[in-house]
Amino acid sequence: MTEEKKQQTSEDVKKSIYSTLSKIDVSHLIEKKMGLNYLSWAKAWGLVKSIYPDADKEITEYPEYLPTNNGWVATGRTVDYRLTIAGCEVEASVIIEGQKFSSQLYVMDNHNKTVMKPNYSQINKTQMRALVKALAFAGLGLNVYAGEDLPSEKDETPTKISKAQLLKKKIANAQRFEVQYGGGKEKLVDVVSWEKSGDKQAHMFIETWTKRDPKNLAAYEFIETNGLYTVKEEKKEA
């Protein structure tokens, strides 16, 4: 079988998986916490296994590095989380019909703020949330994460709105949208501007943040496309 044929087969399988899982109504399984919608990982995984008995899941292992006064030092061990200057990151994957779907998340507290030194209970809970989101990428419960391509505090879009008005609203949302950065909150447009100025910490943050969620990547690309950042000579001090 040629590589092109294999690729076509892989894409066909993914489309079939998405078509199957996206049709499942999970609304009766949704739970609310801190005003946000959640789908239990056990219920989500149980649904998938009932349809795809051979489905498997895995948590990504990383080489362990610990921060010291002399920089990050390798311990020679592997752990199922990764410490970064932006926080603690985990990745969960599901394998269905030989196709892999993955999701990365940072460990957050009850106020959805990045935890710089999480305990293992917090890490484990985040791994399970990443598993649910990986299943959403496969099609299950994707509507739980559905929304505008840019994060906003509330939906103020009227029933009828022109494209120009919608763009203006999205730009305003983007300019005021904040992210957890360096132990505090910063406007995303400022972090992007530091990244464009060559700030390594900002670059690392953007690289990991945009991989966590398709919405994050869309927000970053929206800021780039519409030139909502200003490259500054002075960089943000850590």
Q: What is the pLDDT of residue 97?
A: 94
The answer to whether 92 and 127 are in contact (CB under 8 A) is: yes
Computed over every residue of the chain, the mean pLDDT equals 81
Nearest-angstrom CA–CA distance, 203 and 180? 14
Nearest-angstrom CA–CA distance, 153 and 163? 21
Which range is most confident: 48-52, 150-154, 159-163, 218-222?
A: 48-52
pLDDT at 57 over 90: yes
CATH number, domain 3-144: 3.30.390
Question: Is the whole model's pTM more than 0.75, yes or no?
Answer: no
The average pLDDT across 57-69 equals 91
Q: What is the pLDDT of residue 10?
A: 82
Instruction: Tell the burial category of 24 from Cβ atoms under 10 Å away from its Cβ (0-12, 13-18, 19+).
Output: middle
- Please give the structure tokens belonging to residue 208: 């990991």
The answer to whether 152 and 177 are in contact (CB under 8 A) is: yes
Q: What is the pLDDT of residue 148?
A: 32
Least confident of 13-22, 200-209, 219-228: 219-228
Q: What are phi and psi of 12, to 5 degrees?
A: -65, -40
Least confident of 29-38, 96-105, 141-150, 177-186: 141-150
Q: What is the pLDDT of residue 218?
A: 81
Residues of the chain above pLDDT 90, percent: 32
Q: What is the pLDDT of residue 229?
A: 76
| pLDDT band at 48; cut points 50, 70, 90 | very high
Q: What is the pLDDT of residue 234?
A: 46
Residue ranges of domains in the chain: 3-144, 148-238
Residue ranges in 80-162 assigned as alpha helix (H): 120-138
Alpha-carbon distances of 31 from 36, 41, 107, 215, rounded to whole Å: 8, 11, 20, 21
